């Protein structure tokens, strides 16, 4: 099964060949600035299961870690659709709000909550991280091993 999404104007469409990859809410100040909102809802997907049709523009940003984040936007409406990071080859982080059925999503974790807006109330029972989770926590949150085996 697959899920689909695209940009605001419809010039770019994408398909994820997974039924329901996990998503998380990032409350870092970069995501707040990029989204113009209190957080960004992100969905990491394997590049091998991600197909995009339409014209994209991309731009790179150097991160404090020394890695490069490359954002991919619709060339027509400039809607940000996904990003890649140089230290995570084979992984794309989709802006989950661009999914056709984004209303069905529920984040499995909230990260960078030390910089969340004070008025945002986080639900009980989810994994919360003051900053970026460590690698072991990250792979557990994203259920990477099970997703690789399933694909």
Q: Per-residue pLDDT tens for 99-115?
A: 998 888 888 889 898 99
Sequence-distant (6+) residues with CB within 8 A of 110 are 24, 25, 26, 27, 39, 116, 122, 126, 127, 128, 129
Q: Does residue 122 surpass a pLDDT of 50?
A: yes
pTM attached to this predicted model: 0.83
Number of domains in the chain: 1
pLDDT, tens only, 78-106? 999 999 988 888 889 999 999 998 888 88
Domain span at residue 51 reads 3-150
- The answer to whether 80 touches 71, Cβ cutoff 8 Å, is yes
């Amino acid at each position: 099964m697959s899920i689909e999404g695209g940009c605001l104007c419809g010039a770019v469409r994408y398909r994820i060949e997974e039924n329901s990859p996990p998503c998380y809410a990032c409350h870092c100040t970069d995501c707040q600035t990029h989204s113009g909102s209190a957080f960004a809802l992100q969905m990491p997907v394997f590049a091998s299961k991600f197909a995009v049709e339409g014209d994209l523009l991309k731009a790179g940003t150097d991160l404090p870690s020394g890695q490069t984040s490359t954002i991919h936007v619709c060339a027509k409406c400039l809607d940000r659709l996904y990003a890649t990071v140089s230290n995570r080859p084979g992984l794309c982080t989709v802006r989950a709000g661009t999914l056709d059925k984004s209303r069905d999503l529920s984040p499995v974790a909230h990260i960078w909550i030390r910089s969340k807006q004070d008025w945002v109330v986080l639900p009980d029972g989810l994994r919360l991280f003051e900053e970026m989770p460590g690698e072991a926590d990250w792979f557990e949150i994203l259920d990477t091993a099970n997703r690789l085996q399933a694909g």
